[in-house]
């Protein structure tokens, strides 16, 4: 079966600094994958290249077998990307926003409308559906952006810090929705600073630092790699310590 | 505590000035150096004018004209003060830090007021200071009273702008107050233009009646050298009593506003621009979605433009410049034909503004970039949406022309469309991400684009004017924007 995401030898430089340095990553279909790393490790840059928002200097990215550089439309059709600080249209209401997103993905209007109702209901935004986004709180915006990412039922979801700004109840709703996507055969790849999320939800974890994957596997495999049975936090801190790669 | 030490008023003032001077690009610095050179040259002109007629004599020679000019400049200062006061109150910037610090609110409020006073005066000072300097250099040292007088007038303008904006915020809420205050400032500026055209707009009988009133005693009391309206001018030209009175009155006004509204300033700044949720609409909640990329992109752009009252008002404000020509049109004056070239130029400007909003000020670029649609297609649809409103606004003028000559009407439609397309294309090719609020300053970092847009729209306007007269050289001014676009397209390919 073709992998959901396949990254080979990815390189991205900014002014001589390697943000991503020969990164390889393969995520099979139907997996919940967490990408962890310290600030400035190259997580967001990698995800932006995967989503087709930035070109790679070198290397290749395939989403369900579609090359993001050679055939971006086919790759993006099966993909959803949720940035860490999603930008929405303040003067549109939630329904108008979702109608716009559905139009971009060429969805059938009737199916889009019904899916919008379901998502807004699940995320607790149904009674705010006709209010302009400019009156939304940070958490409500995050939930609406997630609804936009989910409306076209993407096979691969790329989420950069999706739980930022959410309260405990909203975070639980979002986690449940993501787990359901994976159970339904979808693939979720997310970055997070909340290691507990990765520990509890992710089937496999990749730890990235200085633009390279340092370790990859299930939590048990990562523990074996560092040679002790600590928490994910212990493993993460040991692998990403400044002198770890020296 | 000394004013210069932290957190004294002068220390805060230095902080404001430092913030105001940051962010100057090379092109802006070049522009400033160029402006300074022109300003120095302007002193030579002022020297000659002052030698021929010292400022003190101006009022005696043509009091009504001089008082009108004074009112014009003061209104300009007030209109700029409104824009700056709105930013001082509503732009978050460092307000949270200042409000939460132990600095007395009156200190940073007064500092902001002083900054607004100085910034709103800057352009008027550039135009008028050379006359004061020239008079002082020619031995009339009292002319240097110009500077404290002007500063006090700036403080008064800042006081009026702060009081009105905070009053509006209390009456209609912060967000509406910001929009209304910005509109008020813009209307004051545009209204000045109409006033300058009043002579040509009046009917002959009204003009005669106006002339006889000007010669009456009542007019002399208001528009003569002894009029109280002339005091700011007399103060600025060095008359001691008017100067002291003007400075005292203006500073007292400013102080009174700062003292009486500092609490309102802090409250309004703390509340910020939070938006109250609108009432939900059951009918809108039930409406069906429409499909199709063209539909959703064009509808989204039009919704965003239509829901931005400030953008609409500022854009349509340009139409006010057509009022004098419309009056001539109504009077069947042959000069009405000039309205066509003016329409061509203005619709090109409007299309450029909306194209900039649609492309450079896109609020969710990541969403569009991650969608399975080519960027070129999205941008083409955005430009179509941007040109829709100017096209609709052009229709009545095309119909006006059609009443006289269908051929001229067709020419107007063609030239307006070409001008709009040219401006929109320039905006597309020079697009750089920016917030919507930067619309008015969009060419600050790239003046070449601003000049290109201006010359292109003027070229199409001039070409249309010549085409109306069936002039064989009508193609010549149109060749400028066309050649410019071709060169730009060639450079982009390389």
Please list every residue in chain A whose beta carbon sits closer than 8 Å to the beta carbon of residue B304. Answer: 89, 91-92
**Whether residue B199 has pLDDT greater than 70:** no
Continuous segment of H or E residues that includes residue B381? helix B375-404
ipTM of this complex: 0.88
In a domain, A105, yes or no: no
Determine contact: B289 vs chain A, CB below 8 A: yes
What pLDDT was estimated at residue B91? 74
**CATH number of domain containing A243:** 3.40.50.300
- Domain annotation covers residue A85: no
Asked if B280's CB is within 8 angstroms of A130's CB, the reply is: yes
Is B166 inside any structural domain? yes
Identify all chain B residues contacting A102, using CB atoms and an 8 Å cutoff: 289, 291, 296
For residue A131, the chain B residues in CB contact (below 8 A) are: 277-278, 280
B300 contacts in A (CB within 8 Å)? Answer: 89, 92, 96, 100
The chain A residue lying nearest B297, using CA atoms, is A100
Q: Check A102 against B364: CB less than 8 A apart.
A: no
Nearest partner of B84 among B162, B1, B143, B29, judged by Cα: B162
Q: Residue B454 is part of which domain span?
A: 293-493
Residues B312 and B267 placed together within one structural domain of the fold: no
Q: Is the pLDDT of residue B15 over 90?
A: no
B453-471 pLDDT tens trace = 888 999 999 999 899 888 8
pLDDT for B377 equals 94
Domain end call among B271, B302, B334: B271
How confident is the model over B208-252, as pLDDT tens digits? Answer: 887 787 777 777 777 777 788 888 888 988 899 999 999 999 999
Put simply, the answer to whether B275 touches A89 (Cβ < 8 Å) is no
Is B437 at the interface with chain A, CB within 8 A? no
Would B288 be classed as within a structural domain? no
Contact call for residues B181 and B165 (beta carbons, < 8 A): yes
Instruction: Tell whether B1 is covered by a domain.
Output: no
In a domain, A173, yes or no: no
Our CA-based measurement puts residue A95 at a distance from the nearest CA of chain B, in whole angstroms, of 8
With respect to residue B153, please indicate whether it lies within any of the assigned structural domains.
Answer: yes
User: Sign of torsion, CA B437 B11 B24 B156?
Assistant: positive
Interface contact flag, A131 B285, Cβ < 8 Å = no
The pLDDT value given to residue B332: 61
Name the residue among B291, B365, B369 with its Cβ closest to that of A107.
B291
pLDDT tens, A2-52? 999 999 999 999 888 899 999 999 999 999 999 999 888 899 999 999 999
User: Do residues B169 and B246 both lie within one domain?
Assistant: yes
Question: Do the domain assignments include residue A118?
Answer: no
Count how many domains chain B has.
Answer: 2
Ordered strands of the A212-217 beta sheet: A79-82, A156-160, A187-191, A32-36, A204-209, A212-217
> Is A156 within a domain?
no
Contact B289 A113 (CB under 8 A): yes
Q: Using CA atoms, how far apart are residues B255 and B9, in angstroms rounded to an integer?
A: 14
Domain-located, residue A242:
yes
Query: Any CB–CB contact under 8 A between B296 and chain A?
Result: yes
Write out chain A residues lying below 8 Å of B278, CB-based: 130-132, 135
pLDDT at A246: 45
Mark whether B108 and B53 lie in a shared domain: yes
Q: Can you tell me the distance from the alpha carbon of B340 to that of B469, in angstroms, rounded to the nearest whole number?
A: 12
Q: Spell out a b/e string for A87-119, using b for 16 or more CB atoms within 10 Å of the CB, else e.
A: ebbbbbbbbbbbbbbbbbbbbebeebbebbeeb
Q: How would residue B330 be classed by pLDDT, with cut points 50, 70 and 90?
A: low
Residue B376 lies in a domain: yes
B441 touches chain A (CB under 8 A): no
Same domain, B17 and B125: yes
Q: With CB atoms and an 8 Å threshold, state whether B373 touches A104.
A: yes
Residue A240 placed within a domain: yes
Q: What is the DSSP letter of B200?
A: H
Domain count, chain A: 1
Judge whether A46 lies within some domain: yes
8 Å CB contact between B133 and B43: yes
For residue A183, give how far its alpha carbon lies from the nearest alpha carbon of chain B (Å).
24
Contact A130 B369 (CB under 8 A): no
Q: What is the mean pLDDT of residues B242-267?
A: 92
| Residues sharing a CB contact under 8 Å with residue B384, sequence separation 6 or more, in sequence order | B298
Read off the pLDDT of each residue in B418-432 and give the average, rounded to a whole number: 93
Please calculate the CA angle B131-B133-B134 and round it to the nearest 5 degrees: 65
The residue range of the domain holding A27 is: 1-78+187-246
pTM of the model: 0.76
Q: Residue B434: its chain A contacts at CB < 8 A?
A: none
- pLDDT over 80 (residue B309): no
């Amino acid at each position: 079966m073709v992998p959901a995401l396949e990254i080979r030898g990815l390189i991205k430089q900014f002014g001589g600094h390697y943000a991503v340095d020969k990164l390889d990553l393969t995520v099979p279909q139907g997996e919940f994958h967490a990408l962890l790393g310290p600030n400035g490790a190259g997580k967001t840059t990698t995800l932006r290249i995967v989503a087709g928002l930035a070109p790679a200097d070198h290397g290749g990215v395939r989403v369900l077998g579609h090359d993001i550089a050679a055939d971006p439309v086919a790759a993006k059709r099966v993909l959803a990307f949720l940035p860490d600080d999603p930008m929405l249209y303040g003067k549109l209401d939630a329904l108008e926003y979702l109608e716009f997103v559905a139009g971009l993905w060429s969805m059938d209007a009737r199916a889009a409308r019904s899916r919008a109702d379901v998502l807004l209901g699940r995320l607790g935004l149904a009674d705010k559906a006709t209010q302009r986004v400019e009156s939304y709180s940070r958490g409500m915006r995050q939930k609406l952006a997630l609804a936009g990412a989910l409306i076209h039922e993407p096979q691969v979801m790329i989420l950069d810090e999706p739980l930022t700004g959410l309260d405990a109840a909203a975070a639980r709703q979002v986690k449940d929705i993501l787990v359901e996507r994976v159970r339904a055969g979808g693939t979720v790849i997310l970055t997070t600073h909340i290691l507990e999320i990765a520990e509890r939800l992710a089937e496999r974890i990749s730890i990235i630092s200085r633009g390279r994957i340092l370790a990859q596997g299930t939590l048990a495999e990562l523990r074996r790699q560092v040679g002790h049975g600590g928490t994910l936090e212990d493993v993460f801190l040991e692998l990403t310590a400044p002198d770890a790669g020296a | 505590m000394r004013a210069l030490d932290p957190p004294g008023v002068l220390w805060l003032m230095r902080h404001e000035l430092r913030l105001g001077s940051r962010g100057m690009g090379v092109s802006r610095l070049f522009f400033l150096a160029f402006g300074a050179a022109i300003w120095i040259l302007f002193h030579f002109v002022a020297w000659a004018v002052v030698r021929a007629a010292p400022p003190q004599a101006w009022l005696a020679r043509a009091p009504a004209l001089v008082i009108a000019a004074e009112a014009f400049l003061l209104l300009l200062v007030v209109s700029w003060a409104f824009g700056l006061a709105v930013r001082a109150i509503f732009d978050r910037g460092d307000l949270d830090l200042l409000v939460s610090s132990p600095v007395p609110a009156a200190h940073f409020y007064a500092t902001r007021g002083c900054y607004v006073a100085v910034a709103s005066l800057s352009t008027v000072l550039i135009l008028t200071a050379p006359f004061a300097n020239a008079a002082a250099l020619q031995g009339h040292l009292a002319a240097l009273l110009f500077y404290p007088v002007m500063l006090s007038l700036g403080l008064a303008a800042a006081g009026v702008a702060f009081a009105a904006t905070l009053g509006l915020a209390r009456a209609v809420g912060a967000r509406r107050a910001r929009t209304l205050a910005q509109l008020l400032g813009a209307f004051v500026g545009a209204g000045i233009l109409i006033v300058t055209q009043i002579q040509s707009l009046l009917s002959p009988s009204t003009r005669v009646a106006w002339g006889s009133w000007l010669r009456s005693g009542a007019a002399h009391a208001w528009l003569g050298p002894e009029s109280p309206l002339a005091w700011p001018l007399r103060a600025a030209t060095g008359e001691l009593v008017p100067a002291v009175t003007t400075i005292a009155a203006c500073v007292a006004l400013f102080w009174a506003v700062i003292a009486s509204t500092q609490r309102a300033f802090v409250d309004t700044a703390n509340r910020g621009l939070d938006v109250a949720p609108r009432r939900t609409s059951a009918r809108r909640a039930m409406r069906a979605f429409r499909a199709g990329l063209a539909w959703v992109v064009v509808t989204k752009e039009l919704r965003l433009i239509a829901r931005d009252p400030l953008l609409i008002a500022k854009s349509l404000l340009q139409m006010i410049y057509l009022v004098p020509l419309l009056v001539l049109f109504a009077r069947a004056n042959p000069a009405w034909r000039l309205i066509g070239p003016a329409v061509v130029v203005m619709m090109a400007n409007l299309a450029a503004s909306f194209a900039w909003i649609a492309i450079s000020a896109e609020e969710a670029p990541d969403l569009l970039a991650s969608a399975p649609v080519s960027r070129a297609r999205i941008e083409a649809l955005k430009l179509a949406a941007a040109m829709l409103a100017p096209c609709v606004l052009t229709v009545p003028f095309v119909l006006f022309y059609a009443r006289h000559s269908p051929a001229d009407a067709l020419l107007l439609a063609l030239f307006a469309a070409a001008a709009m397309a040219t401006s929109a294309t320039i905006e597309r090719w020079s697009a750089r991400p920016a917030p919507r609020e930067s619309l008015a300053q969009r060419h600050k970092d790239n003046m070449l684009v601003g000049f290109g847009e201006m010359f292109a729209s003027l070229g199409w306007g001039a070409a249309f004017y010549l085409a109306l007269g069936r002039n064989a050289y009508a193609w010549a001014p149109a060749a400028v924007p066309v050649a410019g676009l071709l060169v730009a397209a060639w450079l982009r390919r390389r």
